[in-house]
A and B are shown apart, each in its own frame.
Chain A
Amino acid sequence: MGKTIADKIFASHLRDEPFEGAKVLNLDRVLCHEITTPVAIADLEWRGKDRVFDKSKIKAVIDHVTPSKDTKTAIQAKMIREWARRHELEDFFDVGRNGVCHALFPEKGYIRPGFTVIMGDSHTCTHGAFGAFAAGVGTTDLEVGILKGVCAFRHPATIRVNLRGGLKPGVYSKDVILHVIAKLGVNGATDAVLEFAGPVTEGMSMEARMTLCNMAIEAGGTCGICMPDEITADYLWPFIQDEYPNKEAAVDDFKQWHSDPDAEYKQILDFDLSDLEPQVSYDYKPDCVKPVSELAGARVDQVYIGTCTNGRIEDLRVAAKILDGRTIADSVRGVVSPATPKIFRQALEEGLIDIFMQSGFCVTNPTCGACLGMSNGVLAPGEVCASTSNRNFNGRMGKGGMVHLMSPATAAATAVTGVITDARTLLSRV
């Protein structure tokens, strides 16, 4: 029997199997942010073990609340900042250089095919887009990762998700993943890796693949994963060009991280996407999803474009195209947060920031902020937000608030009208 990518990464990183089924892996990356790391730092100090296993493999950022909004968040920022300095971490991103972790770290070239990655953040599954095994963990796993460079997992099953049929104009990877989650359910992939394949996946940019993998956790998945290919090599080329004679050699090398044709899957799901409509979530679970036509006309108070799901340059381009020459409805507050400084600058240079501002959007610095109701766009009770984020739990963006998940195109169109709107009805230029 052949192996899946996840099987191959597990085999190559296995450090120990203290009991049957418990696999302790060596880690290539331990990623840290200011919300879940400080308690690990404090605990290591308390234990007299304030050390790091490898200062080049641990990367840290302040992204959830930044710049700090109050004394408590300032203390969290201070804790991770001082910790990063005292251990001389090679890469730590503070105010002005910081961005949403799952956009920033890939952009810096830190994630490579075949890597093992953990972070105290459930959307760490995003990094599987590079053919890595990347899993969200709690603070205790993070703490052991920081100290020892290992993490324990049950060997995950793999669910293959074949995406084929081609997407209609105006339909994006966000719509695809919402549709897939609706089919799987919020626990359909628990303890499993979601392996995205098929021609639609192969045709997607790294940004679009990250959007897919980002939401694997919303179906319970340990990690989303895509096979690394030419598109992966193109994206990583500035960071790997000294390691390979040419791009073809890199692509060839990446093939060691492809699933075998006879690999064993827990489940194989086949999606023909040729008739897929833009998708929007309703209610308070990410598997409650309907075509936009069934939710069109529902009033919203705020539109939020950004986050680790859809705050990348392609997302901003799509939204700006719809907003160009239009103003958003008086009843709506528009908030856009480019996910990293690089994306922000690129959006400035391309004129996208100007379009957002002309249309009436508030442009914030890169931060996770509003997605989890921490800052920069928290909802009041009874308010509704059209959001490009990944989670619509009760109160997620503020106590008593409600969230509709959607693509940047649908969000932008919704901002223009003030009610949930199919972007394709506004424009022929989606």
Chain B
Amino acid sequence: MEKIFKGPAIFLDRNDINTDEIIPAKYLTEVTKKALQPYMLEDLKLDGFDPHGDELKNARAVVTRENFGCGSSREHAPWVFEVNGVHTIIAQSYARIFRQNMFNGGMLAIELPQQEIDALFELGKQGTVTLNVDVDAQIIHASVAGQESEFPFEISEFDKALVKAGGWVEFADARY
């Protein structure tokens, strides 16, 4: 599945959003990624958040705070984003396994400093923010209400190689 790193963002204003909230364990009995699609963020504890609402349905990126994806190793968490077209997560920090799982699947888990995350959340208050990530240049282009802003970011050469290869299986199979 081709990964697309652009589109409207949804803002999840909380730290420590865990994998059980992203995809509850009762759905781990599925053996295809596609079957997970209806359940994205079903148990997220966040005031005003509607897991069945249009904002989430239309989202192609998530902007959030610290330690996103903590808890379980379940790759079902990145997969539920993947099958819903959400291939970009931008957070202040991640749990290690979740972050690795994103890049292993050829998707982006971008880290930004708190100041930049705050700035993105500010943009979010003005309307729907559309993001467009240039992986080569390492810049996030954000647009809202006719206004454009840029957020440079850093990912390691290895993470970039995984995204380019389409994931860790492709990379490892070609090399080992």
Q: Are A138 and B29 in contact (CB under 8 A)?
A: no
Q: Given the complex of chains A and B, what is the CA–CA distance between A18 and B159 in angstroms?
A: 11
B125 to chain A, nearest CB (A): 26
Decide: A122 near B29, CB < 8 A? Known: A144-B169, A222-B96. no
Contact A220 B96 (CB under 8 A): yes
Binds A, one of B68-76, B113-121, B135-143, B144-152: B68-76
Q: Which residues of B sit under 8 angstroms from A139, Cβ to Cβ?
A: 75, 101
A140 to B67, CA, bound (A): 21
**Across the interface, which residues of A come within 8 angstroms of B16, CB to CB?**
186-187, 285
| Partner pick for A190 among B33, B45, B93, CB 8 A cutoff | B93
With a cutoff of 8 Å between Cβ atoms, the chain B residues found around residue A285 in the complex are 16
Instruction: Establish whether residues A396 and B156, one from each chain, have CB atoms under 8 Å apart when the complex forms.
Output: no
Q: Which residues of B contact A136 (CB under 8 A)?
A: 73, 97
A143 closest partner in B (C-beta): B169
Contacts A122-B72, A187-B70, A391-B71: A399 and B43 contacting too (C-beta < 8 A)? yes
Instruction: For residue A137, give the distance in angstroms from its CB to the closest CB of chain B.
Output: 6
Q: Are B158 and A122 in contact (CB under 8 A)?
A: no
Given A138-B75, A394-B43, A395-B20: A72 in contact with B29 (beta carbons within 8 A): yes
From the candidates B31, B101, B156, B167, name the one contacting A79 in the complex (CB within 8 A).
B31
Interface flag for A147 (CB, 8 Å): yes
List chain A residues, Cβ under 8 A from B2.
none
Is the CB–CB distance between A396 and B100 below 8 Å? no
**A187-B66 contact, Cβ under 8 Å, with A39-B75, A120-B73:** yes
Nearest chain A residue, comparing its CB with the CB of B25: A372
Is the beta-carbon distance between B168 and A16 smaller than 8 angstroms?
A: no
Q: B105 — which chain A residues lie within 8 A by C-beta?
A: 140
A366 to B17, CA, bound (A): 30
**Contact A393:B157 (CB < 8 A) given known A36-B75, A122-B73, A284-B45:** no
Q: Which B91-107 residues have C-beta < 8 A from chain A? A: 93-97, 100-101, 104-105
The docked-state distance in angstroms from the alpha carbon of A214 to that of B63 is 31
A residues in contact with B54, CB < 8 Å: none
Would you call A186 and B31 a contact (CB within 8 A)? no
* Inter-subunit contact B20/A396 (CB<8 Å): yes
Chain A contacts for B43, CB-based, 8 A: 394-395, 399
The number of chain B residues with a CB under 8 A from chain A is 45
Known: A35-B28, A79-B31. A394 touches B156 (CB 8 A): no
Task: Give A20 to B161 CA distance when docked, in angstroms.
Answer: 12
Q: Which residues of A contact B168 (CB under 8 A)?
A: 140-141, 144, 152
Residues of B within 8 A of A15 (CB): 176
Known: A141-B168, A187-B70, A395-B24. A42 touches B18 (CB 8 A): no
Docked-complex contact A49 and B71, CB < 8 angstroms: no
Q: Would A72 and B20 be within 8 Å (CB), given that A18-B158, A122-B73 are in contact?
A: no
Interface residue B173 (Cβ < 8 Å from any Cβ of A): yes
Roughly how many angstroms separate A147 CA and B169 CA in the complex, as a whole number?
9
Interface string of A112-151 (1 = CB under 8 A from B): 0000000011101000000000001111110110011010
Q: Is A38's beta carbon under 8 Å from chain B?
A: yes
Q: Would you call B97 and A122 a contact (CB within 8 A)?
A: yes
Q: Within the assembled complex, what's the spacing in Å between the Cα atoms of A357 and B174?
A: 56
In Å, the complex CA distance between A393 and B175 comes to: 39
CB neighbours of A372 from chain B (8 A): 20, 25, 72
Residues of A near B30 (CB, < 8 A) are 72
Q: Which of A138, A186, A284 contacts B67 (CB 8 A)?
A: A186
Residues of A within 8 A of B70 (CB): 186-187, 220
Minimum CB distance partner of A47 in chain B? B169
Given A122-B73, A186-B16, A394-B43, A150-B172 contact (CB < 8 Å):
yes
Select from chain A the residue with minimum beta-carbon distance to B35: A72
Chain A residues with CB under 8 A of B24: 373, 395, 399
Given A373-B26, A399-B24, decide whether A144 and B172 contact each other with a Cβ distance below 8 A: yes
Q: Mark B26-43, 1 if CB is under 8 A from A, else 0.
A: 101111110000000001
Q: Quick check: is B55 within 8 A (CB to CB) of the other chain?
A: no
Least distance between B37 CB and chain A CB atoms (Å): 15
A141 touches B100 (CB 8 A): yes
Task: Indicate if B21 sits at the interface (CB-CB under 8 A).
Answer: yes
Given known pairs A47-B169, A141-B100, A148-B172, the reply for A76 and B158 (CB within 8 Å) is no
Interface residues of A (CB under 8 A from B): 15-16, 18-22, 24, 35-36, 38-39, 42-43, 47, 49, 64-65, 70, 72-73, 75-76, 79, 120-122, 124, 136-141, 143-144, 147-148, 150, 152, 186-187, 190-191, 220, 222, 284-285, 372-374, 391, 393-396, 399
